[in-house]
Structure 1
Amino acid sequence: MYTALLILVVTCGVSFLSAQNCSVPSLTGTLYQKVDSEPQNLTIEGSIQLEDDSFYLLIANQSLPHLCRNSVNIQYELYVLQIRNVGLADIQPRAFNITPTLGLLKISYNPLTSLKKGVFQGLRVKEIDCSNNFISSIDEEAFDGIPTLEVLRLSYNAIKQVSPEWFKNSPNVYKLSIIFNELTSLPARAFQNMAKDRPVKLRLSANRIQDIDDDAFFSMGNIEILRLNGNKLATLPENLFVNRTIRHLEINTNKLLCFPDTLFHSGVASLAFLDNPTFKCPCLEKVRHFVETQNIYIWYPAIICEDRAREVNIVFNHNKTYELPLILPSTEATLG
């Protein structure tokens, strides 16, 4: 019994240590010391390190299945670190021990399925790009406590939800891209922790979004770009246009029937809703009047609407409208 217990303790201790301080296998990185310098090879073994200030380090097309605590240990200046197509499946908390401020940390084309709490903890980085992986699970605290973070890209993954808890103590995130994922809805206060002192840019196209909570954009300031193309939306919440300006709204290829009335009192500068064949004609005419009086850039769906009172067909197509005489059905009186 005591022998078995001792083996269990030793085994657990070894597992814990290996999880915290595993070694990086022998790799070769491509290093650019300056923006315009020639690439040079960097031998990596034990951990990912630099011996001098550099601009860009690329680790690609090799085998690096795990990053454990301090696997990346960089104390010299570096602007871009990219880890691409290395079979990376797991990143443990505190894997990145990087002293200087990174411009971009990019992890792409890997079998990575989750982002855990603490993975980016302590990093000073302006942009994190985890696009083109298999991420479906993100801890609510995964992006906490990164005050330098401004841009987050999570496109081409399998993400099913946005958490209102993202970005606590990361108050400068103003650009979020989650295109080509599996979002079906946007919850209340979905973006409440994003930047308040500059216009926000949201790219949420090519998902399966069919429902947006009335308070999804609660506490958000002005939005520079909102892209919702290629979803399954039939309506937009009234509150979307209340107490904020959305400068550029794109909602092409959805199932829209109309816009909320609050849109017609907003400061939108461009509006694109191509390929919404279900859009109602009375609402289209309201949009037309709004566009013409406010001088807004517009991209309409291709729809023909009858105006019997004026005996014309209004043709909506791309950025123009045309009026053609309405050809009424023949009657016995007109036939003589």
Structure 2
Amino acid sequence: MYFLQTLLIFVTFYKHVLACGSYSFDYEIRGQIGFIKKISDVEEISECGNDNQSVFVDQHYILELCCKIFACKNILDAVTFNNCFIRKFEENCFSNSVLNVRSVIRVTRNHITTIKKHTFRDLVVMQIDLSNNFIEKLEDEAFLNLNNLLILHLGGNLLTVINPKAFALIPRLESLSLYENRIRTLQPGFFSFLSARNSDVNLACNEISQLKKSAFDGLSSRVILDLTLNGNKIEILPEDIFTNRSWQSVDLSYNPLKTISRHFCDKQCVMQIFEFDCVFLTWEDVEFIVDWAEAKEVDLYGGGCLQYNVTVMLPTKLCGGATNFEDFFSWKFYASFYLLLLNYI
């Protein structure tokens, strides 16, 4: 009987917390000049000091981020909730409560799984960081009417597919980070929501195995795209995949490229930088890329290209998404390291 009573109290308390019941936490106010003021054991962020300061909440069991937490009326530069075990956002939590945050909203290293419709709507922030959660799904219009948003971080989550309809009316978005997810395919119209002239999309360290031209359907011809795809599983560059577009750079390093169409970047294709790997390509393919880059004045960087006349790139990051490529070299690396040690023993 005592056990059942204890369990009932625990369940009631747990549901109360998840339903935005009362709970306490600490937060810090961080000023522009570096001072920190800590406010302890409160149920809401009400004392915020002066305008243009930041609020930081770290390592608390908040579970559900609720509207009532944001009681501060000052104009804030940034609000951060890091490692607070947050699982969900109360409906309209941000759009009703943090319209006075001008620069950054960070909800990082929590347990969020879904970004629901209108979660981030009508805000004036320039950056939203949701990296290192457990996000599996973005609902339609999850990010809506964000006229000032420049940077959106969704890296380090569990996304397998991206819903382009999640991003609506974000005219100034310049940088979208989707690195280290589990994205397997770029569906038709994947990039269609981009409209900023210089746009950067980072898809490094995912599980993409195939590129299709339809992924760029709806992408404005005025957009100059910086596309990072390193550490995926791409083996083929099909015909006209980058044609009729402008590219600041395309990074395909740490992909097991085996086949490259002679028309992968033909007619009206403008590109500044192209990064790739020579390891699985034939001599004819590499020679073609070198000639193509010279004719189009493209800066070329290649991995595993020591025997070719290509600038050798240095790896900037190794990741889980690149294991399919790295495993091919692992035995050589360990053998060389072992022999090197023998010489010094």
Q: TM-score, normalised by structure 1?
A: 0.79
Aligned CA distance change for structure 1 residues 125 and 24 (closer, same or farther; 3 Å): farther
Cα drift, residue 69 of structure 1: 3.5
Corresponding residue of 1:124: 124
Q: Deviations over 1:30-52 (max 9, x none)?
A: 1113x113101124633333444
Give, in whole Å, the separation in 1 of the partners of 2:210 and 2:163: 15
Corresponding residue of 2:38: 41
Corresponding residue of 1:211: 210
Q: Secondary structure at the match of 2:271?
A: coil
Aligned CA distance change for structure 1 residues 169 and 291 (closer, same or farther; 3 Å): closer
Q: Which letter maps to 1:39?
A: I
Cα drift, residue 207 of structure 1: 0.3
Corresponding residue of 2:242: 241
Aligned CA distance change for structure 1 residues 169 and 70 (closer, same or farther; 3 Å): farther
How many aligned positions are there? 292
Aligned CA distance change for structure 1 residues 178 and 272 (closer, same or farther; 3 Å): same
Aligned CA distance change for structure 1 residues 135 and 264 (closer, same or farther; 3 Å): same
Q: Which letter maps to 2:304?
A: A
Cα drift, residue 182 of structure 1: 0.2
Give, in whole Å, the separation in 1 of the partners of 2:246 and 2:127: 25
Give, in whole Å, the separation in 1 of the partners of 2:45 and 2:25: 9
Give, in whole Å, the separation in 1 of the partners of 2:260 and 2:237: 8
Corresponding residue of 1:143: 143
Corresponding residue of 1:298: 300
> Is this contact kept in 2: 1:301–1:316, CA < 8 A?
no
Aligned CA distance change for structure 1 residues 76 and 237 (closer, same or farther; 3 Å): farther
Q: Secondary structure at the match of 1:102?
A: strand
Q: Which letter maps to 1:214?
A: K
> Is this contact kept in 2: 1:184–1:207, CA < 8 A?
yes
Question: CA RMSD for the aligned pairs?
Answer: 2.5
Aligned CA distance change for structure 1 residues 280 and 18 (closer, same or farther; 3 Å): same
Q: Which letter maps to 2:276?
A: F
Whether 1:69 aligns to 2:70 is no
Q: TM-score, normalised by structure 2?
A: 0.77
Give, in whole Å, the separation in 2 of the partners of 1:290 and 1:122: 45
Give, in whole Å, the separation in 2 of the partners of 1:245 and 1:73: 46
The structure with more helix, counted as a fraction of residues: 2
Aligned CA distance change for structure 1 residues 158 and 207 (closer, same or farther; 3 Å): same
Q: Secondary structure at the match of 2:127?
A: strand
Which deviates further from its counterpart, 102-111 or 113-122? 113-122
Cα drift, residue 227 of structure 1: 0.5
Unaligned runs of 5+ in 2: 1-14, 314-345
Q: Deviations over 1:112-171 (max 9, x none)?
A: 222111222232211111001111122122112222222111001111111121221222
Q: Which letter maps to 2:103?
A: G
Unaligned runs of 5+ in 1: 1-14, 305-313, 321-336
Which deviates further from its counterpart, 244-253 or 209-218? 209-218
Give, in whole Å, the separation in 2 of the partners of 1:170 and 1:30: 31
Query: What aligned pairs does 1:256-275 form with structure 2 within 5 A after superposition?
Result: 256=257, 257-259=259-261, 261-265=263-267, 266-274=269-277
Aligned CA distance change for structure 1 residues 24 and 214 (closer, same or farther; 3 Å): farther
Cα drift, residue 172 of structure 1: 2.1
Corresponding residue of 2:341: none
Which deviates further from its counterpart, 146-155 or 287-296? 287-296
Q: Which letter maps to 1:210?
A: S
Aligned CA distance change for structure 1 residues 59 and 316 (closer, same or farther; 3 Å): same
Q: Moved runs in structure 1, 4+ residues, more than 4 A? A: 17-20
